[in-house]
Amino acid sequence: MRNVGIVGIGSYVPENVVTNLDLEQFVDTKDEWIVSRTGIKQRHIAPKDMPVSELCYQAGLRALEDARIAPEDVDLIIVATITPDYAFPATACLVADRLGAKKAAAFDLEAGCTGFIYAVATGSQFIASGTYKTVLVIGGETLSKILNWKDRSTCVLFGDGGGAAVLQQVEEGFGFLSFELGSDGSGGSLLSQPAGGSKCPASSETVEKNLHTLQMEGKEVFKFAVRIMGDVSLKVLEKAGLIKEDIDLLIPHQANIRIVDAAVKRLKISPDKVVINLDKYGNMSAASIPVALDEAFQAGLISEGDIIVMVGFGTGLTWGACVLKWTKVGIKND
């Protein structure tokens, strides 16, 4: 089995920024309330005519440029999203066409905010087994398009964005050291978009009842997240034969500052080792971890050989984590 790592990263967010003060103009909420309970100060919102495929394309293009890999050399594209352009065809197919990745297989993966971790774990197996050489993984969301902007308990939390990673074989001892994935479908109703699928097809009634918008039981999701973030981080470290003191950088899903703080407390690691950017972007679901990873690298926070733990949770309910020993040097197998 080949060692697999990230040899290129990139991200993209829409230009339009909506601050908490902006939200005060049309939502019954206050900046102080949002910041104190979530840590979010602003978020980026895509224009009405900008689909998630555009965010994914821009992030994927940047990741390929960073890796110095031509689109025609990509073997597989996986897009993790819960806000695809269409129910079908897959957004990944649209992105592959836009990029000019003529020989790439492509499919979407749905695991909510855990989507990027699930997608990286999936893409890695194709390379580890020798099936493919280069896999482009993208996490992208336009959650603003499925929000009920009259529901102050949810609409203040989310933002739009895309993040991407190019996977290839790397030297032994580097790359992904372990993965830990999980799910609990009994909690599926806690975070969902009830209408639009085969169980509850679109109708005038579903539209009137706002069933095509995001629905969340906030308190229950919070309790689940606080517990699972620390648990899965410890499990994935154990799988890699490491301990929490070995962590150089923790990149958690950017959902809520209180959830992140609880995970940091459980792991007993220095806050200086934790990447937090939710104040700027809010919860971008599958895009949050890759965007944070890209920003951390661009800021010079990641060095060769660093041990990075990425961990997330999301609708499903799902959760996942991975341990990555950082290198961006791939092995070319002709």
Q: How confident is the model at residue 334 (pLDDT cuts 50, 70, 90)?
A: low
Report the chain's mean pLDDT, rounded to a whole number.
97
In the sheet with 307-314, reading across from the earlier edge strand, the strands are 175-183, 318-325, 307-314, 249-252
* Whole-angstrom distance, CA of residue 166 vs CA of residue 119: 12
Mean pLDDT calculated for residue range 150-177: 97
Residue 322 a catalytic site member: no
Calculate what percentage of the chain has a pLDDT beyond 70.
99
Compute φ and ψ for 223, nearest 5 degrees: -60, -40
pLDDT over 80 (residue 332): no
Does the predicted model carry a pTM greater than 0.85? yes
Reference 44, options 154, 159, 141, 144; nearest CA is 159
Residue 200 a catalytic site member: no
pLDDT over 80 (residue 296): yes
Q: How confident is the model at residue 81 (pLDDT cuts 50, 70, 90)?
A: very high
Q: Which residues contact 184 (CB under 8 A, 6 or more apart)?
A: 316, 317
Mean pLDDT calculated for residue range 227-232: 95
Please give the angle made by the CA atoms of 113, 309 and 68, to the nearest 5 degrees: 85
The catalytic position among 155, 256, 283, 322 is 283
* Whole-angstrom distance, CA of residue 40 vs CA of residue 20: 8
The catalytic position among 20, 93, 253, 256 is 253
Mean pLDDT calculated for residue range 254-261: 96
The predicted-structure confidence for 98-144, as pLDDT tens digits, reads as follows 999 999 999 999 999 999 999 999 999 999 999 999 999 999 999 99
* Amino acid symbol at 284: M
The catalytic position among 93, 113, 155, 322 is 113
Mean pLDDT calculated for residue range 31-53: 97
Burial state string for 172-182 with b = 16 or more CB within 10 A and e = fewer than 16: eebbbbbbbbb
> Could you give the 3-state DSSP secondary structure of residue 100?
coil
pLDDT of residue 283: 98
Q: How confident is the model at residue 333 (pLDDT cuts 50, 70, 90)?
A: low
Q: What is the CA radius of gyration of the chain?
A: 19
* C-alpha distances in Å from residue 184, one per residue of 225, 313, 317: 12, 11, 5
pLDDT of residue 288: 98
pLDDT of residue 54: 98
Domains of the chain and CATH, by start: 4-175 (3.40.47.10), 177-325 (3.40.47.10)
Residue 283 a catalytic site member: yes
* Whole-angstrom distance, CA of residue 77 vs CA of residue 41: 33
